[in-house]
Amino acid sequence: MINLLCSRAKIVFVYHEAGKKYRKAQQIVGELEKKLPEFDEIESEQNREIKLQKLKKLLDKVRTKMFNFSQQMRYLQEDRNTIDTNAENYREALTKIKSLCIDGDNLDFLQKFLDLAENKYQRQIEIDLNYLIASQNLFEQSISTVRGMVEIEQVELDTEQEQNEKTRDRQLENIIFFVGTAIGGGQIFSAAYPLIKDTPIQWQPNFYLPLHPFFATLIYSVLFGLGFGLLTLLIVWAARKIFPK
């Protein structure tokens, strides 16, 4: 009789606790369902870096809730197994008691509880689990989708940043090349220009006199260097377009 009463008490207590865990799991389901519309909002974000950050934050939140949801699912499954085990123990104890009964003993109230445990308690927990499993599959699929989006956005962002870095490096190379070519061109012109005559500099400007050879050489060197640098840069740019790496 003690075994029967102990099994009965365990069944009642565990069924009551299972109801709490199911309601907790339902609450998490509601919270997860509220997160689903955020996917569409994030998808419309044009800034790739901001989009990736939002996706990662959302993924962290959803994974945390899914972890808690999975815990409640596992606890509910353990409660189902506990009720199954104690229902079987209750049946065995009831069978022994019935074997010791004499005519006129009425044990229907004990049998009614066993029927209640098997037909309602166990069945109800099974229904609850099936409902939660369907929700679990939906949210796991959603997490997989978000995780895939994060991976794709990360790859595309890395590619975009790498391309931008290459573009900046190329622009810096062009600037350095242009400056070096201009200086070199100016030096070539200066070397090829006739030697500067020993002409005194007229410090008082006189626009009717020809430009002093020193200033003429300086100006022509700068102009030639700039022109030579631009022409060379244009040739290099055209060559890169025609023969890309």
Question: What is the spatial distance between Cα 212 and Cα 225, in angstroms, rounded to a whole number?
Answer: 20
Is the distance from CB of 8 to CB of 113 less than 8 angstroms? yes
- State whether 145 and 180 are in the same domain: no
Give the range of the structural domain holding residue 89, as residue numbers without chain letter. Answer: 2-163
Clarify whether residues 102 and 126 are in a common domain: yes
DSSP designation for 121: I
Angle at 110 between CA 108 and CA 114, to 5 degrees: 110
Do 148 and 32 lie in one domain? The reply is yes
- Report pLDDT for 195: 47
Query: What pLDDT does residue 80 have?
Result: 92
What pLDDT shows up at residue 172? 65
**pTM score, two decimals?**
0.59
On whether both 182 and 205 belong to a single domain, the answer is yes
- Give me the pLDDT at residue 178, please: 55
At 86 the pLDDT is: 92
Q: Same structural domain for residues 149 and 203?
A: no
Q: How far apart are CA 172 and CA 161, in angstroms?
A: 16
The total number of structural domains that make up the chain? 2
Cα–Cα distance between 122 and 111 in angstroms, integer?
Answer: 16
Q: Over the chain (245 residues), what is each successive 10-residue block's mean pLDDT?
A: 87 93 91 81 78 81 86 92 92 83 72 88 91 83 76 75 72 62 55 50 51 54 61 66 60
CA 95 to chain CA centroid, Å, is 58
Give the Cα separation of 122 and 236 in Å (integer).
Answer: 80
